[in-house]
Homo-oligomer: A and B are copies of this chain.
Amino acid sequence: MEIACFIEAADRHCQQQGVKLTALRRQVLELVLSYSGVVKAYQVLADLQKQRGIAAPPTVYRALDFLVAAGLLHKVDALNGYIVCHHVGCSHEGLILVCGDCGRVEELDATPVLDVLRQQAGGAGFAISQQNLMLTGRCEACRT
């Protein structure tokens, strides 16, 4: 089962980082994993409420913030949503493509293009930190 495998990797990752993947955080991670693409905080909240009876927004936002900080999720600002990071543990930077119609996500390697961007930003005096690039568009299926 892919989810279990991911959770296991996430567990190891958190231990290495010296942070705790508590039961609640793991549960939220599982809920995000159960979707194939972008998930919204209030969707996770609704799911969480189904599973534990009651939950408030801060509960879910805190867990999501933790998971983003730990590098297990990415926040997709343009859609107010979250996606699973498919390169946990790898240090490479991702180019994340999000289909605005169906929410499908694809991750490519952004290293070459980020080299160019670093150079361009450097010319303006900016030192850009390690990060992912996110682009929205339409996937093949939604374009036809």
Question: Residues on A close to B: CB < 8 A?
Answer: 77-78, 95, 97, 99-100, 106, 108, 113, 116-117, 120-121, 124-129, 131, 133-140, 143
Contacts and interface: CB of A to CB of B under 8 A. Distances in A.
Contacts of A126: 97, 99, 106, 135, 137-140
22 contacts: A78-B131, A95-B120, A95-B121, A97-B121, A97-B124, A100-B129, A106-B124, A108-B121, A113-B116, A121-B135, A125-B139, A126-B138, A126-B140, A127-B137, A127-B138, A128-B135, A128-B136, A128-B137, A129-B136, A129-B137, A129-B138, A131-B136
SS of A interface (majority): mixed
